[in-house]
Protein backbone atom coordinates (compact mmCIF):
# COMPACT_ATOMS: atom_id res chain seq x y z
CA UNK A 1 0.00 0.00 0.00
CA UNK A 2 1.25 3.46 -0.87
CA UNK A 3 1.55 6.08 1.80
CA UNK A 4 0.05 9.55 1.18
CA UNK A 5 3.47 11.12 1.70
CA UNK A 6 4.51 9.53 -1.62
CA UNK A 7 2.25 11.96 -3.50
CA UNK A 8 2.78 15.61 -4.21
CA UNK A 9 -0.69 16.87 -3.41
CA UNK A 10 -0.27 20.63 -3.68
CA UNK A 11 -3.11 22.15 -5.66
CA UNK A 12 -4.60 18.74 -6.35
CA UNK A 13 -8.10 17.58 -5.49
CA UNK A 14 -7.89 14.62 -3.12
CA UNK A 15 -10.92 12.48 -2.30
CA UNK A 16 -10.56 11.04 1.21
CA UNK A 17 -12.82 8.14 2.22
CA UNK A 18 -13.01 8.56 5.99
CA UNK A 19 -14.99 6.74 8.68
CA UNK A 20 -17.10 9.39 10.41
CA UNK A 21 -19.83 7.01 11.53
CA UNK A 22 -20.34 8.38 15.03
CA UNK A 23 -23.17 7.78 17.50
CA UNK A 24 -25.76 10.58 17.50
CA UNK A 25 -28.60 11.53 19.78
CA UNK A 26 -30.70 13.84 17.62
CA UNK A 27 -27.99 16.04 16.12
CA UNK A 28 -25.67 15.78 19.13
CA UNK A 29 -22.55 13.62 18.66
CA UNK A 30 -22.20 11.47 21.77
CA UNK A 31 -18.70 10.20 20.92
CA UNK A 32 -16.42 11.90 18.40
CA UNK A 33 -13.63 9.29 18.50
CA UNK A 34 -13.88 8.40 14.82
CA UNK A 35 -13.84 12.06 13.75
CA UNK A 36 -10.73 12.67 15.82
CA UNK A 37 -9.10 9.57 14.34
CA UNK A 38 -9.73 10.96 10.83
CA UNK A 39 -8.11 14.33 11.50
CA UNK A 40 -4.39 13.50 11.01
CA UNK A 41 -4.72 12.45 7.36
CA UNK A 42 -7.03 15.35 6.47
CA UNK A 43 -4.79 17.82 8.27
CA UNK A 44 -1.68 16.49 6.56
CA UNK A 45 -3.23 16.80 3.11
CA UNK A 46 -4.66 20.27 3.70
CA UNK A 47 -1.39 21.37 5.26
CA UNK A 48 0.40 20.38 2.06
CA UNK A 49 -1.95 22.47 -0.05
CA UNK A 50 -4.38 19.82 -1.26
CA UNK A 51 -8.05 20.54 -1.92
CA UNK A 52 -9.52 17.89 0.34
CA UNK A 53 -12.91 16.35 -0.40
CA UNK A 54 -13.97 14.09 2.46
CA UNK A 55 -16.61 11.41 1.90
CA UNK A 56 -18.14 9.16 4.57
CA UNK A 57 -21.29 7.37 5.64
CA UNK A 58 -23.44 7.60 8.76
CA UNK A 59 -25.78 4.85 9.94
CA UNK A 60 -27.96 2.87 7.58
CA UNK A 61 -30.21 5.20 5.54
CA UNK A 62 -30.46 2.51 2.83
CA UNK A 63 -29.92 4.50 -0.37
CA UNK A 64 -32.29 7.42 0.30
CA UNK A 65 -31.72 10.92 1.72
CA UNK A 66 -32.88 11.05 5.34
CA UNK A 67 -32.19 14.10 7.53
CA UNK A 68 -31.85 11.81 10.57
CA UNK A 69 -28.58 10.53 9.07
CA UNK A 70 -27.20 13.84 7.79
CA UNK A 71 -23.47 14.44 8.18
CA UNK A 72 -24.11 18.14 8.90
CA UNK A 73 -23.31 17.84 12.66
CA UNK A 74 -20.16 15.92 11.72
CA UNK A 75 -19.02 18.69 9.35
CA UNK A 76 -19.34 21.16 12.21
CA UNK A 77 -17.35 18.99 14.62
CA UNK A 78 -14.70 18.24 12.00
CA UNK A 79 -14.27 21.96 11.46
CA UNK A 80 -13.79 22.53 15.19
CA UNK A 81 -11.15 19.79 15.38
CA UNK A 82 -9.34 21.06 12.27
CA UNK A 83 -9.71 24.67 13.44
CA UNK A 84 -10.75 25.46 9.90
CA UNK A 85 -13.88 25.98 7.87
CA UNK A 86 -15.32 22.75 6.44
CA UNK A 87 -17.56 23.39 3.43
CA UNK A 88 -20.54 21.05 3.59
CA UNK A 89 -22.39 19.79 0.51
CA UNK A 90 -26.04 18.94 1.09
CA UNK A 91 -25.93 16.16 -1.49
CA UNK A 92 -23.39 13.51 -2.48
CA UNK A 93 -22.86 13.87 -6.22
CA UNK A 94 -25.44 16.55 -7.12
CA UNK A 95 -25.32 20.30 -7.71
CA UNK A 96 -24.37 21.15 -4.15
CA UNK A 97 -21.43 18.73 -4.16
CA UNK A 98 -20.25 20.05 -7.54
CA UNK A 99 -20.45 23.66 -6.35
CA UNK A 100 -18.60 22.89 -3.11
CA UNK A 101 -15.85 21.01 -4.95
CA UNK A 102 -15.50 23.78 -7.55
CA UNK A 103 -15.23 26.38 -4.80
CA UNK A 104 -12.36 24.71 -2.93
CA UNK A 105 -9.06 26.56 -2.71
CA UNK A 106 -5.68 24.97 -1.98
CA UNK A 107 -5.54 23.83 1.65
CA UNK A 108 -9.32 23.85 2.12
CA UNK A 109 -11.53 20.97 3.23
CA UNK A 110 -15.05 19.96 2.18
CA UNK A 111 -17.36 17.20 3.38
CA UNK A 112 -20.02 15.74 1.11
CA UNK A 113 -23.36 14.46 2.46
CA UNK A 114 -23.81 10.83 3.61
CA UNK A 115 -22.64 8.41 0.89
CA UNK A 116 -25.40 5.99 1.77
CA UNK A 117 -28.04 8.51 0.62
CA UNK A 118 -27.10 7.19 -2.84
CA UNK A 119 -28.22 3.65 -3.77
CA UNK A 120 -25.04 3.14 -5.82
CA UNK A 121 -22.82 3.19 -2.74
CA UNK A 122 -23.90 -0.15 -1.28
CA UNK A 123 -25.35 -1.74 -4.41
CA UNK A 124 -24.60 -5.41 -5.07
CA UNK A 125 -24.83 -4.61 -8.78
CA UNK A 126 -21.33 -3.92 -10.11
CA UNK A 127 -22.59 -1.56 -12.82
CA UNK A 128 -24.66 0.52 -10.40
CA UNK A 129 -21.68 0.82 -8.05
CA UNK A 130 -19.35 1.67 -10.92
CA UNK A 131 -21.67 4.43 -12.17
CA UNK A 132 -21.76 6.06 -8.74
CA UNK A 133 -18.02 5.56 -8.24
CA UNK A 134 -17.41 7.33 -11.56
CA UNK A 135 -19.26 10.42 -10.33
CA UNK A 136 -17.25 10.51 -7.10
CA UNK A 137 -13.97 9.96 -8.93
CA UNK A 138 -14.77 12.83 -11.31
CA UNK A 139 -14.45 15.25 -8.37
CA UNK A 140 -10.80 14.39 -7.72
CA UNK A 141 -7.28 13.69 -9.00
CA UNK A 142 -6.26 11.34 -6.19
CA UNK A 143 -7.96 8.97 -3.76
CA UNK A 144 -6.97 8.29 -0.17
CA UNK A 145 -8.53 5.35 1.68
CA UNK A 146 -8.63 6.13 5.39
CA UNK A 147 -12.01 4.79 6.53
CA UNK A 148 -10.79 1.72 8.34
CA UNK A 149 -14.21 0.94 9.84
CA UNK A 150 -15.57 0.43 6.30
CA UNK A 151 -12.73 -1.47 4.57
CA UNK A 152 -14.59 -4.78 4.92
CA UNK A 153 -17.41 -3.41 2.76
CA UNK A 154 -17.44 -3.85 -1.01
CA UNK A 155 -18.93 -0.40 -1.44
CA UNK A 156 -18.38 2.11 -4.24
CA UNK A 157 -16.42 4.63 -2.17
CA UNK A 158 -14.32 1.89 -0.57
CA UNK A 159 -13.74 -0.59 -3.38
CA UNK A 160 -14.56 0.96 -6.77
CA UNK A 161 -13.25 4.53 -6.60
CA UNK A 162 -9.64 3.51 -5.86
CA UNK A 163 -9.75 1.54 -9.11
CA UNK A 164 -10.40 4.79 -10.98
CA UNK A 165 -7.80 7.12 -9.46
CA UNK A 166 -4.17 7.00 -8.31
CA UNK A 167 -4.50 6.12 -4.65
CA UNK A 168 -2.87 5.72 -1.28
CA UNK A 169 -3.76 4.59 2.23
CA UNK A 170 -4.26 7.19 4.93
CA UNK A 171 -2.36 7.17 8.19
CA UNK A 172 -5.27 5.67 10.14
CA UNK A 173 -5.63 2.68 7.83
CA UNK A 174 -1.88 2.09 7.88
CA UNK A 175 -1.75 2.22 11.68
CA UNK A 176 -4.74 -0.12 12.07
CA UNK A 177 -3.36 -2.67 9.62
CA UNK A 178 0.00 -2.57 11.37
CA UNK A 179 -1.55 -3.57 14.69
CA UNK A 180 -3.84 -6.22 13.24
CA UNK A 181 -1.00 -7.78 11.28
CA UNK A 182 0.82 -8.19 14.56
CA UNK A 183 -2.22 -9.98 16.01
CA UNK A 184 -2.51 -12.37 13.07
CA UNK A 185 1.16 -13.10 12.45
CA UNK A 186 2.60 -13.57 15.89
CA UNK A 187 0.07 -13.23 18.66
CA UNK A 188 1.62 -14.00 22.00
CA UNK A 189 -0.25 -16.84 23.74
CA UNK A 190 -2.62 -17.39 25.38
CA UNK A 191 -4.58 -15.48 22.76
CA UNK A 192 -7.97 -14.52 24.18
CA UNK A 193 -10.84 -12.96 22.24
CA UNK A 194 -13.77 -11.36 24.08
CA UNK A 195 -16.95 -10.91 22.07
CA UNK A 196 -20.13 -9.08 22.98
CA UNK A 197 -22.40 -6.39 21.63
CA UNK A 198 -25.63 -6.46 19.74
CA UNK A 199 -24.82 -7.15 16.08
CA UNK A 200 -25.23 -10.81 16.84
CA UNK A 201 -25.97 -12.16 13.37
CA UNK A 202 -22.96 -10.27 11.91
CA UNK A 203 -20.60 -11.47 14.58
CA UNK A 204 -21.66 -15.09 14.90
CA UNK A 205 -20.20 -15.57 11.43
CA UNK A 206 -16.69 -14.75 12.60
CA UNK A 207 -16.62 -17.29 15.40
CA UNK A 208 -15.98 -20.33 13.21
CA UNK A 209 -12.77 -18.81 11.91
CA UNK A 210 -11.68 -17.43 15.26
CA UNK A 211 -11.91 -20.91 16.76
CA UNK A 212 -9.01 -21.96 14.54
CA UNK A 213 -6.83 -19.13 15.84
CA UNK A 214 -7.46 -18.42 19.50
CA UNK A 215 -6.93 -20.24 22.80
CA UNK A 216 -9.94 -18.79 24.59
CA UNK A 217 -13.15 -17.17 23.53
CA UNK A 218 -15.19 -15.27 26.13
CA UNK A 219 -18.75 -14.48 25.10
CA UNK A 220 -20.82 -11.77 26.77
CA UNK A 221 -23.25 -9.03 25.74
CA UNK A 222 -26.19 -9.75 23.49
CA UNK A 223 -24.20 -12.58 21.83
CA UNK A 224 -24.30 -14.78 24.90
CA UNK A 225 -28.00 -15.55 24.92
CA UNK A 226 -27.97 -17.41 21.62
CA UNK A 227 -25.26 -19.64 23.11
CA UNK A 228 -27.20 -20.20 26.33
CA UNK A 229 -30.32 -21.02 24.36
CA UNK A 230 -28.32 -23.38 22.13
CA UNK A 231 -27.39 -25.26 25.29
CA UNK A 232 -31.07 -25.61 26.09
CA UNK A 233 -31.54 -22.82 28.63
CA UNK A 234 -34.40 -20.34 28.80
CA UNK A 235 -33.29 -16.77 27.98
CA UNK A 236 -36.61 -14.95 28.44
CA UNK A 237 -36.79 -11.73 26.44
CA UNK A 238 -33.01 -11.44 25.97
CA UNK A 239 -31.48 -10.71 22.58
CA UNK A 240 -31.67 -13.95 20.60
CA UNK A 241 -30.77 -15.10 17.10
CA UNK A 242 -33.21 -17.96 16.77
CA UNK A 243 -32.15 -18.87 13.21
CA UNK A 244 -28.53 -19.34 14.22
CA UNK A 245 -28.97 -21.80 17.09
CA UNK A 246 -27.86 -24.72 14.92
CA UNK A 247 -24.72 -22.89 13.85
CA UNK A 248 -23.95 -21.99 17.46
CA UNK A 249 -24.30 -25.63 18.52
CA UNK A 250 -21.72 -26.36 15.84
CA UNK A 251 -19.36 -23.80 17.40
CA UNK A 252 -19.74 -25.39 20.82
CA UNK A 253 -18.78 -28.79 19.37
CA UNK A 254 -15.95 -27.36 17.32
CA UNK A 255 -14.49 -25.53 20.32
CA UNK A 256 -14.60 -28.71 22.40
CA UNK A 257 -12.90 -30.66 19.59
CA UNK A 258 -10.15 -28.10 19.14
CA UNK A 259 -9.55 -27.61 22.83
CA UNK A 260 -10.53 -23.94 22.63
CA UNK A 261 -11.96 -22.73 25.91
CA UNK A 262 -15.34 -21.19 25.14
CA UNK A 263 -16.47 -19.29 28.20
CA UNK A 264 -20.09 -18.18 28.66
CA UNK A 265 -21.69 -16.07 31.39
CA UNK A 266 -22.62 -17.91 34.57
CA UNK A 267 -24.88 -15.13 35.84
CA UNK A 268 -26.65 -12.11 34.35
CA UNK A 269 -28.54 -8.98 35.37
CA UNK A 270 -32.08 -9.90 34.39
CA UNK A 271 -34.27 -6.81 33.91
CA UNK A 272 -38.04 -6.51 33.64
CA UNK A 273 -37.70 -4.16 30.64
CA UNK A 274 -35.15 -2.49 28.37
CA UNK A 275 -34.79 0.79 30.25
CA UNK A 276 -32.28 2.93 32.11
CA UNK A 277 -34.06 2.46 35.44
CA UNK A 278 -35.44 -1.04 34.86
CA UNK A 279 -35.91 -3.19 37.91
CA UNK A 280 -33.51 -6.17 37.79
CA UNK A 281 -32.01 -9.03 39.75
CA UNK A 282 -28.91 -11.17 39.46
CA UNK A 283 -29.84 -14.65 38.29
CA UNK A 284 -27.92 -17.72 37.17
CA UNK A 285 -27.41 -17.70 33.41
CA UNK A 286 -29.13 -21.05 33.33
CA UNK A 287 -32.23 -19.74 35.07
CA UNK A 288 -33.33 -16.50 33.39
CA UNK A 289 -37.05 -16.00 34.14
CA UNK A 290 -39.25 -16.03 31.01
CA UNK A 291 -40.49 -12.48 31.68
CA UNK A 292 -37.02 -10.94 32.00
CA UNK A 293 -34.13 -10.01 29.72
CA UNK A 294 -30.40 -10.14 30.34
CA UNK A 295 -28.91 -6.66 30.04
CA UNK A 296 -25.45 -7.27 31.53
CA UNK A 297 -23.17 -10.03 32.73
CA UNK A 298 -23.38 -10.65 36.47
CA UNK A 299 -20.75 -10.25 39.20
CA UNK A 300 -19.59 -13.89 39.16
CA UNK A 301 -19.13 -13.72 35.39
CA UNK A 302 -17.11 -10.51 35.71
CA UNK A 303 -14.74 -12.31 38.05
CA UNK A 304 -14.65 -15.40 35.86
CA UNK A 305 -13.80 -13.33 32.76
CA UNK A 306 -11.16 -11.29 34.62
CA UNK A 307 -9.53 -14.57 35.66
CA UNK A 308 -9.51 -15.82 32.06
CA UNK A 309 -7.84 -12.56 30.98
CA UNK A 310 -5.25 -12.41 33.75
CA UNK A 311 -2.58 -14.61 32.10
CA UNK A 312 -3.30 -13.65 28.48
CA UNK A 313 -0.48 -12.73 26.12
CA UNK A 314 -2.83 -11.15 23.60
CA UNK A 315 -6.40 -9.92 23.96
CA UNK A 316 -8.78 -8.70 21.29
CA UNK A 317 -12.08 -7.33 22.60
CA UNK A 318 -15.09 -6.43 20.50
CA UNK A 319 -18.55 -5.66 21.79
CA UNK A 320 -19.81 -4.34 25.13
CA UNK A 321 -20.73 -6.93 27.78
CA UNK A 322 -24.05 -5.24 28.47
CA UNK A 323 -26.15 -2.19 27.74
CA UNK A 324 -23.37 0.13 28.93
CA UNK A 325 -25.36 3.20 27.85
CA UNK A 326 -27.49 2.56 30.97
CA UNK A 327 -25.45 3.15 34.12
CA UNK A 328 -27.00 0.16 35.92
CA UNK A 329 -25.95 -2.21 33.14
CA UNK A 330 -22.45 -0.87 32.46
CA UNK A 331 -20.64 -2.83 35.18
CA UNK A 332 -19.79 -5.86 33.05
CA UNK A 333 -18.25 -3.75 30.31
CA UNK A 334 -16.31 -1.79 32.91
CA UNK A 335 -15.03 -4.99 34.52
CA UNK A 336 -13.72 -6.38 31.22
CA UNK A 337 -12.17 -3.03 30.28
CA UNK A 338 -10.46 -2.83 33.66
CA UNK A 339 -9.16 -6.38 33.32
CA UNK A 340 -7.57 -5.40 30.00
CA UNK A 341 -6.11 -2.22 31.44
CA UNK A 342 -4.60 -4.17 34.32
CA UNK A 343 -3.16 -6.87 32.08
CA UNK A 344 0.38 -7.17 30.73
CA UNK A 345 -0.97 -8.51 27.45
CA UNK A 346 -1.01 -6.80 24.08
CA UNK A 347 -4.58 -5.50 24.23
CA UNK A 348 -6.69 -4.34 21.31
CA UNK A 349 -10.23 -2.96 21.56
CA UNK A 350 -12.21 -2.83 18.33
CA UNK A 351 -15.68 -1.58 17.51
CA UNK A 352 -17.43 1.77 17.47
CA UNK A 353 -19.50 1.10 20.56
CA UNK A 354 -16.74 -0.72 22.42
CA UNK A 355 -14.37 2.22 21.95
CA UNK A 356 -17.16 4.64 22.85
CA UNK A 357 -17.84 2.62 26.00
CA UNK A 358 -14.21 2.95 27.13
CA UNK A 359 -14.47 6.71 26.85
CA UNK A 360 -17.98 6.99 28.27
CA UNK A 361 -16.96 5.01 31.35
CA UNK A 362 -14.09 7.45 31.84
CA UNK A 363 -11.40 4.80 31.43
CA UNK A 364 -7.95 5.79 30.16
CA UNK A 365 -7.58 5.20 26.42
CA UNK A 366 -3.84 4.72 26.86
CA UNK A 367 -4.56 1.78 29.16
CA UNK A 368 -4.92 -0.32 25.99
CA UNK A 369 -2.23 -1.16 23.45
CA UNK A 370 -4.54 -0.06 20.65
CA UNK A 371 -8.11 1.14 20.25
CA UNK A 372 -9.33 0.31 16.78
CA UNK A 373 -11.97 2.39 15.02
CA UNK A 374 -13.32 -0.70 13.25
CA UNK A 375 -15.29 -3.55 14.83
CA UNK A 376 -16.48 -5.58 11.86
CA UNK A 377 -13.40 -4.66 9.85
CA UNK A 378 -10.93 -5.74 12.52
CA UNK A 379 -12.83 -8.97 13.22
CA UNK A 380 -12.82 -9.90 9.55
CA UNK A 381 -9.12 -9.09 9.33
CA UNK A 382 -8.43 -11.35 12.31
CA UNK A 383 -10.42 -14.12 10.66
CA UNK A 384 -7.96 -13.99 7.79
CA UNK A 385 -10.46 -12.66 5.27
CA UNK A 386 -9.39 -10.40 2.43
CA UNK A 387 -10.95 -7.00 2.91
CA UNK A 388 -12.17 -5.31 -0.30
CA UNK A 389 -11.02 -1.85 0.75
CA UNK A 390 -7.49 -3.05 1.51
CA UNK A 391 -7.26 -5.11 -1.66
CA UNK A 392 -8.27 -2.04 -3.66
CA UNK A 393 -5.58 0.04 -1.97
CA UNK A 394 -2.91 -2.57 -2.64
CA UNK A 395 -3.60 -2.79 -6.36
CA UNK A 396 -2.01 0.03 -8.36
CA UNK A 397 -2.65 0.46 -12.03
P1 LIG B 1 -19.39 -2.60 18.47
O2 LIG B 1 -19.88 -1.31 17.87
O3 LIG B 1 -18.37 -2.36 19.54
O4 LIG B 1 -18.93 -3.58 17.42
P5 LIG B 1 -22.09 -3.61 18.64
O6 LIG B 1 -22.52 -2.54 17.70
O7 LIG B 1 -22.17 -5.02 18.17
O8 LIG B 1 -20.63 -3.29 19.20
O9 LIG B 1 -22.98 -3.59 19.96
C10 LIG B 1 -23.06 -2.48 20.81
C11 LIG B 1 -24.40 -2.45 21.50
O12 LIG B 1 -24.67 -3.68 22.12
C13 LIG B 1 -24.49 -1.41 22.59
O14 LIG B 1 -25.34 -0.39 22.14
C15 LIG B 1 -25.08 -2.18 23.78
O16 LIG B 1 -26.11 -1.48 24.43
C17 LIG B 1 -25.60 -3.43 23.14
N18 LIG B 1 -25.71 -4.59 24.05
C19 LIG B 1 -24.74 -5.18 24.76
N20 LIG B 1 -25.23 -6.15 25.53
C21 LIG B 1 -26.56 -6.21 25.31
C22 LIG B 1 -27.64 -7.01 25.81
N23 LIG B 1 -27.42 -7.95 26.71
N24 LIG B 1 -28.87 -6.76 25.34
C25 LIG B 1 -29.09 -5.80 24.43
N26 LIG B 1 -28.13 -5.01 23.92
C27 LIG B 1 -26.87 -5.21 24.35
MG1 LIG C 1 -21.75 -0.76 16.98
For residue 55, pLDDT over 70 is answered with yes
What value does the mean pLDDT of the chain take?
A: 96
As beta bridge partners, residue 349 has: 317, 371
**332 ligand 1 Cβ < 6 A:** no
- Angle between helix 72-82 and 33-47 (nearest 10): 60
**175 ligand 1 Cβ < 6 A:** no
How far CA 323 is from CA of 271, 329, 349, in Å, comes to 11, 5, 17
Q: What is the enclosing helix (H) or strand (E) of 82?
A: helix 72-82
CA 22 distance to own-chain centroid? 10
CB of 269 within 8 A of CB of 282? Answer: yes
User: Quick one: pLDDT at residue 397?
Assistant: 64
Mean pLDDT for the stretch of residues 133-150:
98
Q: Which of 145, 294, 352, 374 is catalytic?
A: 352
Q: What is the enclosing helix (H) or strand (E) of 350?
A: strand 346-350
Q: Which residue's alpha carbon is at the smallest distance from atom 9 of ligand 1? A: 197
Predicted TM-score (pTM) of the model is: 0.88
- Indicate the top mutation candidate among 150, 353, 371 to test ligand 1's pocket, ranked by most ligand atoms within 8 A of CB: 353
Mean pLDDT for the stretch of residues 179-192:
91
Q: Tens digits of per-residue pLDDT, 365-387?
A: 999 999 999 988 998 998 888 99
Neighbours of 8 (CB within 10 A): 11
Cα of 59 to ligand 2 centre, how many Å?
Answer: 10
| Catalytic (active site) residue 334 | no
Q: Which residue has the higher pLDDT, 203 or 106?
A: 106
| 3-state DSSP assignment of residue 142 | strand
Q: Tens digits of per-residue pLDDT, 219-256?
A: 999 999 999 999 999 999 999 999 999 999 999 999 99
Q: Tens digits of per-residue pLDDT, 316-334?
A: 999 999 999 999 999 999 9
For residue 75, pLDDT over 70 is answered with yes
| Catalytic (active site) residue 376 | yes
CA 151 distance to own-chain centroid? 10
User: Quick one: pLDDT at residue 183?
Assistant: 86
**354 ligand 1 Cβ < 6 A:** yes
How far CA 4 is from CA of 15, 158, 177, 395, in Å, comes to 12, 16, 15, 15
User: Quick one: pLDDT at residue 369?
Assistant: 95
For residue 73, pLDDT over 80 is answered with yes
d(CA 317, CA 351) in angstroms, rounded, equals 8
Residue 200 neighbours by CB under 8 Å, 6+ apart: 222, 223, 226, 239, 241, 244
Percent composition of the chain: helix, strand, coil (DSSP 3-state, to 5): 45, 15, 40
Amino acid sequence: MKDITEFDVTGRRVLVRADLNVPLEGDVITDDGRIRASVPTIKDLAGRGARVIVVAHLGRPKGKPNPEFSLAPVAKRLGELLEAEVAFATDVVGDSAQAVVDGLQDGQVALLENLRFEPGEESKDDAARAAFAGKLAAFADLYVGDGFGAVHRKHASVYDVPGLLPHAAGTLVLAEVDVLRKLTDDAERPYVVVLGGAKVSDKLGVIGNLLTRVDRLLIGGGMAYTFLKAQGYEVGGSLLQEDQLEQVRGFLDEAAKRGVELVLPVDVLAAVEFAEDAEYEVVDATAIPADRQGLDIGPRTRELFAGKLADAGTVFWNGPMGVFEFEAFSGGTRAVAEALIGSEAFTVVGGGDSAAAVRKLGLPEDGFSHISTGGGASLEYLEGKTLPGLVALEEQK
